[in-house]
């Protein structure tokens, strides 16, 4: 008797659970059409690298895989080439807004560009009004306003810890000061510059003047909790914090006023070298040991059709920001003034390897938290800015030599 076929997908555990529920619904619906069983496994995003490494070593596990940062590059020889499907999907949806996401070292697509997750400022507008300030536009504004908010008991909340948010935000600060981790070739380490040193000094001032030491141990959830509990006055975060506050009907402490009504999102701050922020690029790939490669390709074709994409985007409450041009001005962004930033924030966001492409080495630097660790060491006064940057440079060069 023939064994029943099962199409298996692994993805990160989404911060908006309805997004995962819709993805699973689509997988199950496609499975019925294709005559296969389906299974979707969700894993905490910080645990995924270890899971993927295990699957690659054993050459078994799932068929479809959600990839981020430089994983399409890192695992290129274990992933099916998807150029034909990327071309087909792009043509029917007005093209792609990003030509880097999903590519391997040979320039071939090893993942379908899925969506990106951006990092605007999420801020308590009522608290800013109480201290007589306008909303911040620059990092210097953030520092000035943050000092006043902290004095009021509402500190800024930016992780200096082992979290994806920390990796993203701190890269954005470095870029906004004119620094960079690597050159445009994606190979030449370039972090050791006066611009990067100044960025490290700014983060120290921001930490000491505007934050509390709890940020040194925060994960990607803690800043959401800090904002929604009424403690933090400002964080940088996707819309998940706001959406959670709205769903849970969290209240401004000591009042019956829903806190989501006084939270707004604005563009990431501008620095001396412009407005820059890292984005969490997500792609979908197929392991090349999968016995169901054609079925997996069929699911990707199905999932990226207009009807399915609209449902997935709506389920995420706009958290999933599409790479397909046809969905860039989706009506969901006009449905709530708190989402006004979404169609435009892509102008200022980059993949973590910027100005080069995200590579396998990018991914290793990311997963070792080189930037958060050296930033935290300087911010807490353990080493000076030059020492911190020298340490980051030595670690990054070591990783790139082995890439």
pLDDT tens for residues 263-321?
999 999 999 999 999 998 999 999 999 999 999 999 999 999 999 999 999 999 999 99
Share of the chain above pLDDT 90, in %: 94
pLDDT in tens, 342-393: 999 999 999 999 999 999 999 999 999 999 999 999 999 999 999 999 999 9
Least confident of 25-34, 222-231, 333-342: 333-342
Q: Which residue has the tokens 């296969």?
A: 36
What is the per-residue pLDDT for 403? 81
> Mean pLDDT across the stretch 123-137?
98
Integer Cα distance of 331 and 219 in angstroms: 32
> Mean pLDDT across the stretch 96-117?
93
Integer Cα distance of 19 and 231 in angstroms: 28
pLDDT in tens, 211-259: 999 999 999 999 999 999 999 999 999 999 999 999 999 999 999 999 9
pTM for the model stands at 0.94
pLDDT-based confidence at residue 261 (cuts at 50, 70, 90):
very high
> Mean pLDDT across the stretch 323-331?
92
Domains and CATH numbers, the chain: 6-117+279-349 (3.40.190.10), 121-278+368-402 (3.40.190.10)
Alpha helices in 230-384 (DSSP H): 240-248, 293-303, 306-315, 342-345, 360-367, 370-379
* pLDDT at residue 1 greater than cutoff 70: no
Q: Long-range contact list for 328-334, CB < 8 A, 24+ apart?
A: 328/97
pLDDT-based confidence at residue 3 (cuts at 50, 70, 90):
low
What is the per-residue pLDDT for 99? 85
Integer Cα distance of 204 and 211 in angstroms: 10
Torsion of CA 382, 386, 391, 397, to 10 degrees: 170
- Cis status, amide bond into 355, omega within 30 of 0: yes
Residue 180 and residue 396 in contact, taking contact as beta carbons nearer than 8 Å: no
| Sign, CA torsion 67/73/77/81 | positive
Q: How many CB atoms lie within 10 A of CB 123?
A: 25
Residue 274 has which token pair?
């412009």
pLDDT-based confidence at residue 2 (cuts at 50, 70, 90):
low
β-pair type (274-275, 37-43): unpaired
């Amino acid at each position: 008797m023939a064994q029943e076929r099962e199409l298996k997908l692994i993805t990160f555990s989404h911060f908006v659970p309805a997004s995962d529920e819709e993805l699973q619904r689509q997988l199950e619906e496609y499975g019925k059409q294709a005559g296969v069983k389906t299974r979707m496994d969700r894993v905490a995003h910080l645990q995924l690298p270890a899971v993927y490494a295990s699957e690659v070593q054993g050459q078994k596990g799932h068929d479809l895989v959600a990839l981020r940062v430089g994983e399409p590059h890192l695992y290129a020889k274990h992933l099916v080439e998807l150029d034909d499907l990327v071309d087909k999907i792009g043509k029917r949806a007005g093209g792609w807004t990003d030509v880097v996401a999903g590519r391997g070292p040979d320039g071939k697509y090893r993942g379908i560009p899925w969506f990106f997750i951006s990092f605007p400022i999420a801020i308590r507008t009522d608290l800013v009004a109480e201290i007589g300030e306008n909303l911040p536009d620059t990092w210097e504004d953030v520092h000035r306003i943050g000092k006043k908010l902290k004095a009021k008991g509402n500190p800024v909340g930016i992780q200096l810890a082992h979290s994806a948010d920390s990796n993203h935000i701190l890269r954005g600060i470095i870029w906004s000061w004119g620094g960079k981790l690597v050159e445009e070739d994606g190979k030449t380490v370039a972090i050791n510059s006066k611009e990067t040193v100044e960025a490290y000094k700014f983060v120290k001032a921001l930490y000491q003047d505007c934050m509390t030491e709890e940020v040194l141990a925060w994960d990607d959830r803690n800043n959401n909790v800090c904002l929604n509990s009424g403690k933090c006055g400002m964080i940088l975060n996707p819309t998940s914090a706001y959406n959670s506050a709205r769903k849970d009907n969290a209240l401004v402490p000591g009042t019956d006023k829903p806190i989501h009504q006084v939270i707004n999102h604005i563009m990431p701050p501008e620095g001396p070298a412009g407005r820059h922020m890292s984005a969490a690029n997500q792609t979908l790939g197929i392991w090349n040991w999968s016995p169901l490669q054609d079925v997996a390709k069929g699911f990707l074709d199905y999932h990226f059709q207009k009807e399915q994409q609209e449902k997935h985007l709506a389920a995420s409450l706009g958290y999933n920001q599409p790479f397909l041009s046809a969905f860039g001005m989706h009506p969901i962004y006009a449905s709530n003034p708190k989402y006004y930033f979404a169609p435009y924030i892509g102008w200022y966001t980059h993949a973590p390897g910027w100005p080069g492409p995200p590579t396998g080495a990018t991914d290793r630097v990311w997963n070792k938290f080189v930037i958060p660790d050296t930033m935290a060491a300087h911010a807490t006064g353990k080493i000076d800015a030059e020492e911190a940057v020298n340490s980051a440079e030595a670690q990054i060069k070591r990783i790139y030599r082995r890439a």
